[in-house]
């Protein structure tokens, strides 16, 4: 039980971390992508929120049918996959794709983790 709560609480940490860390990472975009424009930087930052909206929209329906724990694990897969895509991104387009994938994980976690924690909390 304690392990499950810790894993779920880490989901809450991840979506806060993934949405805020981009502010510091923007300083280094020019190192990897010398020709990056301001519009591309804005898209890198904002497309994570589009992914989050998608993830949050669908996660409620899915978690009602298959359960909260499996959906939290799916969110973890999206976090991991998005992080790998972003780390290996050879272009701005792939970086944006990684941000969308990671954003879906953020949306799922922001919807399901608080609900799951409230359901397992003792009376």
pLDDT for position 8: 66
User: What is the rounded CA–CA span in Å between residue 25 and residue 44?
Assistant: 11
Q: How many domains does the chain have?
A: 1
Sign for the CA dihedral angle at 89, 33, 103, 83 comes to: positive
**Full domain range(s) for residue 78:** 2-120
Q: Residue 97: what pLDDT?
A: 97
Number of DSSP helices (H) and strands (E) in the chain, helices first: 6, 0
Tens-of-pLDDT digits for all 123 residues of the chain?
Answer: 566 667 666 766 766 676 677 777 887 888 888 899 999 999 998 898 899 999 999 998 898 899 888 898 888 899 889 989 999 999 999 999 999 999 999 899 888 888 888 888 777
Q: Which residues of 26-48 are buried (b: 16+ CB within 10 A; e: fewer)?
A: eeebeeebeebeeebbebbbebb
pTM of this prediction? 0.85
Closest by Cα among 97, 77, 72 to 86: 97
Q: What is the CATH number of the domain that holds 114?
A: 1.20.1250.20
CB-facing half-sphere around the CA of 68: CA atoms within 13 A: 17
């Amino acid at each position: 039980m304690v392990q499950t709560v810790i894993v779920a609480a880490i989901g809450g940490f991840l979506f806060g971390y993934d949405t805020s860390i981009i502010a510091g990472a923007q300083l280094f975009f020019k190192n990897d992508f010398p020709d990056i424009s301001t519009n591309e930087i804005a898209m890198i930052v904002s497309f994570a929120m589009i992914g989050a909206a998608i993830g949050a929209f669908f996660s409620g329906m899915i978690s009602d049918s298959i359960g909260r724990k499996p959906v939290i694990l799916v969110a973890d897969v999206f976090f991991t996959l998005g992080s790998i895509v972003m780390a290996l991104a050879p272009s701005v387009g792939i970086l944006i794709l990684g941000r969308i994938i990671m954003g879906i994980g953020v949306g799922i976690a922001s919807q399901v983790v608080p609900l799951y924690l409230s359901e397992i909390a003792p009376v």
